[in-house]
């Protein structure tokens, strides 16, 4: 039995959205605060039973859109992503990292290079779809992942983090059903040369194989927005997974920290490994289905598959006005969650 590439592409994008939406309400909270307020995070908690994605999913969609438009032209693809990112930034998205804010300002003023020296998560969180798209072509995969990362981040840790996320997504997409997650991770590890990032990832793998608990691993790996912490802990959760994507994501988010980015990266890897068909469909369909919602992401995946096969394909459109209105409408809710975290109960 061989892999279904269309299913894996959709799984990568929808897994990103699932982890992002599950993790968003808990971002910045401690494990104890999450347990007291939410209990087990196996459903959406931001606004009723509806899930909402943040910048992790939206930037992944912008990357997918750019790949559809220019699947063989690196320079034009990067240019398209740069323009799309600026337009997206002007629609006032929430949850944007400081490095991405600074990069978008540089894009707006025409300053080159646009990327800044930051080792945050912004480049890594959107890179999985590059790996899934170029899963069978190592040279363009690494060239596109590197160049797209540098649009916002130029720190070597951030760039290699993006390469690692893409490489692991590629290994998952190539894998046959039943392939061990640890095998895919070991294959992807070769692209990391930065000693700090490599050592953190290797330690996380060992912790997973040794059966260390998520709480203990979170303390040892870190769960902040620092890309070394994020990728180490996401690796730990991926290697120790029990073939239930929702359970794996819930355990990862429960320890706190940068939960939406950890969830988005981990969800993308799980979706690339298992495909959309093995993700919780009912839960995904409760994600708000506006711009960057499930229907939009499924259309992007279908068009990516067409672009891979050399067919002419147009990126699915969405309402810019609807995206702006949604962002403005949700700002009070996001801010309310932020202030709520300051309370000791």
Q: Which residues contact 281 (CB under 8 A, 6 or more apart)?
A: none
Residues in the chain: 345
Question: Sign (positive/negative) of CA torsion 228, 20, 290, 332?
Answer: negative
Calpha distance 116→169 (Å, rounded): 25
Omega of the bond leading into 113 within 30 degrees of 0 (cis): yes
3-state SS class at 308: helix
- Cα Rg of the chain (Å, integer): 18
Calpha distance 13→53 (Å, rounded): 11
**Residues annotated in the binding site, as ranges?**
54-56, 258, 260-261
Our measurement of the distance from residue 192's CA atom to the centroid of its chain's CA atoms, rounded to an integer in Å, reads: 18
3-state SS class at 94: coil
Place of tokens 């959709």: 10
Place of tokens 């899930």: 51
Tell me the angle at which helices 214-221 and 195-209 cross, rounded to the nearest 10 degrees: 170
Instruction: Work out the angle at residue 126's Cα, subtended by the Cα atoms of residues 18 and 149, and round it to the nearest 5 degrees.
Output: 170
Task: Using CB atoms within 10 Å of the CB of residue 102, give its burial: 0 to 12 exposed, 13 to 18 middle, 19+ buried.
Answer: middle
Calpha distance 56→151 (Å, rounded): 15
**Residues annotated in the binding site for Mg(2+), as ranges?**
54-56, 258, 260-261
3-state SS class at 51: strand
List, in sequence order, every residue forming a beta bridge with 287; answer none if it has no partner: 51
Place of tokens 């890309």: 227
Calpha distance 311→318 (Å, rounded): 22
């Amino acid at each position: 039995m061989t892999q279904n590439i269309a299913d894996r592409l959709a799984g990568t994008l929808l897994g990103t959205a699932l982890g992002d939406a599950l993790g968003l309400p808990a971002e910045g909270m401690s494990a104890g605060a999450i347990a007291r307020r939410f209990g087990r995070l196996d459903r959406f908690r931001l606004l009723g039973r509806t899930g909402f994605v943040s910048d992790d999913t939206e930037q992944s969609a912008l990357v997918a859109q750019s790949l559809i438009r220019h699947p063989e032209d690196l320079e034009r693809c990067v240019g398209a992503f740069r323009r799309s990112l600026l337009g997206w930034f002007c629609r006032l998205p929430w949850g944007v990292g400081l490095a991405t804010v600074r990069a978008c300002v540089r894009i707006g003023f025409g300053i080159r290079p646009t990327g800044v020296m930051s080792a945050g998560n912004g480049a890594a969180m959107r890179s999985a779809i590059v790996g899934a798209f170029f899963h069978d072509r190592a040279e363009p995969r690494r060239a596109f992942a590197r160049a797209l990362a540098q649009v916002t981040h130029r720190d070597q840790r951030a760039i290699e983090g993006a390469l690692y996320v893409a490489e692991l997504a590629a290994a998952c997409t190539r894998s046959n059903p039943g392939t061990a997650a640890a095998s895919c991770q070991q294959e992807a590890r070769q692209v990391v040369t930065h000693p700090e990032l490599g050592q953190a990832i290797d330690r996380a793998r060992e912790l997973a194989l040794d059966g260390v608990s998520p709480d203990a691993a979170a303390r040892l790996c870190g769960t902040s927005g620092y890309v070394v912490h994020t990728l180490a802990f996401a690796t730990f959760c991926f290697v120790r997974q029990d073939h239930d994507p929702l359970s794996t994501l819930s355990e990862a988010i429960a320890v706190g920290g940068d939960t939406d980015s950890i969830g988005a990266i981990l969800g993308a890897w799980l979706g690339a490994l298992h495909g959309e068909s093995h993700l919780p469909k009912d839960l995904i369909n409760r994600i708000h289905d506006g711009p960057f919602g499930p229907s939009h992401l499924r259309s992007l995946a279908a068009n990516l598959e067409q672009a891979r096969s050399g067919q002419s394909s147009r990126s699915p459109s969405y309402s810019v006005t609807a995206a702006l209105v949604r962002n403005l409408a949700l700002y009070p809710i996001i801010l309310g969650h932020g202030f709520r975290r300051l309370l000791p109960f």
